[in-house]
A = this chain, B = another copy of it.
Amino acid sequence: MESGDLRFFEAVARHGAMTRAAEELHTVQSNVTARIRALEQAVGASLFERHSVGVTLTDAGRRLLPYAQRVSRLLEEAKRAVQDDGTPRGRLIIGSLETTAAMRLAPLLTGYAKAYPQVDLAIHPGTTCELIAAVKQGSVDGAFVCGPVLDPELDQRPMFQEELSVLASMAVHSLDYLIGAGNIRLAVLRAGCSYRQRLEELLARRGIPAPRLMEFGTLETILACVAAGLGITLLPRRILSSSQFSDSVAVFGLPPSEALVETVFISRRDAAPSSALTAFLGLAEQAFRPGMEASEGNVLNGSLLRQVGKTVLAHQNI
C-alpha cells in the first residue's frame, strides 16, 4: 500500500464517484479504477460498492478512510518539518475569538511580527466551535478559544481569564426589567457564539425568558446597538475599556462562577508545532501568563460589585 494509492482512494471516497475523482487528480477515470482495484487487492478487501451511478464506501473502506487522511496530513507535516530549520518562517494562521482579538492580541501580534519578520501572520476569527474544528482539521495552526477544551486531539494551554458582564442600555436598571420588555433582544456576533449560550443560561437561571436574537458582524455594532437600547449582550467587561461606548452602556457584574471564563490556546496534539507556532506560544505565554496572576487575577478576586461604566449592581439584583 502506497501513499499515492491512498490519495486516489480518498478523492474517490470524497466525491463518491471515480470519474469526478479522476478530474481532481488530473487523470482519467480508467486509471482511477485501476488503482483502486490495485489498492483493494493490496489490502485484501473491497473498499467500494459500485453502483450504476457512483460508488459508496464499504465497511472496510470506511475503516480505511481516516488513515488515508492521516497519512496525507503526516506527509505534509513531514515536508514542513524538514524545511523548518528552527527559525520561524512561512505562514502562521492563528484563530481567535473576535473579542480576544479586539482586546488582547494587538500587542502580541505586533511584537511577534517585529520579532519574526519572516513569518506571514494571519488571524482567523471565529467561534469556539468553529475554531476547534479548524484546528483539528489543520486549517489554522492554533486558536484562542473559551476553555476548557477537553478534546483529546487538542493541546490546551490556559492563557488568561476574562470577566464577563451583561451589557445593556443605560435605561435598564436591573435585569428583571427585561421580563416585561418584549422588544429587547440578545445582540450577538454569531449564532454559534458561546457567549450567547452562556447569556441565555444566565437569564434562564434568573427566570428571564430568552429574548430573541440579533446578529451583528462586528463588536462595535453590537455595542452601538446595546447603547441604543435595542438589545443586551454578554461580553468581557474589558472590551469597554477600548471602546467609545464605555460611558454609554450599563454594566451588570456577575458572580465569579458565572463571570469568569478561561481563554485557552489550543493546538493539535499530534502534529509537531512549527517553529513559527512555538515562537508564538513563547511570546503569548510571556505576554499573558505573568499578567494573569499579577493584575487580572487580583481584580477578579476583588469586588465584582464595584461600578464599571455608570451602573452599580449587587449580584443579588442580577
Q: Is A3 an interface residue (CB 8 A)?
A: yes
Which residues of chain B are near A45, meaning CB under 8 Å? 82-83
Whether A64 lies near B78 (C-beta < 8 A) is yes
Other CB < 8 Å A-B pairs besides A45-B83, A67-B81, 6 of them?
A1-B78, A2-B3, A43-B83, A63-B82, A71-B74, A71-B75
Give me the 9 closest cross-chain CB pairs, A-B, nearest first.
A67-B78, A3-B3, A43-B82, A63-B81, A64-B82, A60-B82, A45-B82, A2-B3, A1-B75
Q: Which of A59, A63, A64, A83 has the most CB of B within 10 A?
A: A63
Q: Is A84 an interface residue (CB 8 A)?
A: yes
Chain A count of residues within 8 A CB distance of the other chain: 31
Q: Is A79 an interface residue (CB 8 A)?
A: yes
Oligomeric state, in number of copies?
2
- Residues of A1-54 at the interface with B, using a CB-CB cut-off of 8 Å, are 1-4, 6, 42-45, 47
Whether B3 lies near A83 (C-beta < 8 A) is no
Whether A2 lies near B1 (C-beta < 8 A) is no
Within the complex, the shortest CB–CB distance from A90 to chain B, in Å, comes to 12
Q: Which of A6, A63, A81, A82 has the most CB of B within 10 A?
A: A82
